[in-house]
Amino acid sequence: MQPFAPNLQLVDLHAEPDTKNCSMFSYQVKPDLSVYSNNYSTGCDCSKIEICVEFKWDASLDAFDDPFIEEQSDIPSFVHPSKSAKDTLGQITAYASMQLGSQYCTHAFSVLIVQDTTCIIRWDWEGVIVTCPIKYGED
């Protein structure tokens, strides 16, 4: 990825929680992939993350539905109603809250990748904007 993002470092820290900023939480904050600017040193530091990327390998863990697929339900919603999907939504919301709470910024971006589909997410203090699912190889 370095040729496409020369001023960013993509760091796999899925097994290394942030112990500096998030030690008081009852859960560990450790995004699968953390994107940092070039001044990154070592370890997970939520106060310096530019973008959090979360990977899920099972489609049942996808937090979002495509609201434009008619056969899904009578009530259009982009949040998948299953418990496992809501757990994923809680996880990525916690990461966004941690990032917004430890940085002086008005918004944050994250990416959720589920199998061959991704959603780009923009978080701010008012809510969230989620792209429709982007399917690799098709879109």
Q: What is the pLDDT of residues 64-96, one digit of tens each?
A: 877 666 555 565 677 888 899 999 999 999 889
Residue showing tokens 């999907």: 85
Tell me what pLDDT residue 56 has: 94
Tell me what pLDDT residue 76 has: 63
Q: Are 22 and 13 in contact (CB under 8 A)?
A: no
Provide CB contacts within 8 A for 90, sequence distance 6+: none
pTM passes above 0.95:
no
Query: Which residues in the chain land under pLDDT 70?
Result: 17, 19-28, 67-76
Tell me what pLDDT residue 75 has: 59
